[in-house]
Amino acid sequence: MIEIAQILKPQGIKGEVKALPLTNVLAVFNSLKVCQIDNRDVKIEKINIRGGYLYIKFASVNTRNDAENYRNKIIKIDKQLVEDAKEDDEYLVDDLIGLVLYDEKGNLVGQIVDILNYGATDIFVIENDGRKMEVPYIDEVFKSTDNGLVVDGEKLKEVML
């Protein structure tokens, strides 16, 4: 199971909730009919995406008071559903943590140990020889290849300055 959204609050009076997506693979929400909340299966009537938020109507939730019980809950689904919905050049955080990065010449750059996001872009925390560096994810620095991600060493130096 993978976390895909956090319910923020009830929305309106008919049992809808407002949620923050925790995945960049928004296509997974297009056909989602069931999810798990607190290890229980919950049927979904409809999902709308507006302004970067999800507006979800669960089948068993029909009032604002019912929706209040879901405040701050995490929505989980089978990871395979996200894998199936993502594009070939999209990665999941789970896939990237632990990934060893090399530059285009085969030199070790380091290992991704964490991914942070402060709103503008993902920040890769890369560790090498006990030193950690935080590098913003920029397409010019990180190139997707058949072997995974490769780092452009020159662009990395520019970003690090």
Clarify whether residues 106 and 138 are in a common domain.
yes
Contact yes or no for 108/115 (Cβ under 8 A): no
pTM here is 0.68
Domain containing 46 equals 2-85
Alpha-carbon span 43 to 41, nearest angstrom: 7
User: What pLDDT does residue 74 have?
Assistant: 95
The rounded distance, in Å, linking the Cα atoms of 9 and 61 is: 13
pLDDT in tens, 119-131: 777 888 889 888 8
Q: How far apart are CA 61 and CA 43, in angstroms?
A: 10
Confidence of residue 72 (pLDDT cuts 50, 70, 90): very high
Q: In terms of domains, do 101 and 54 share one? A: no
Give tens-digit pLDDT for 73-101: 999 998 888 878 877 666 777 778 888 88
CATH number at residue 121: 2.30.30.240
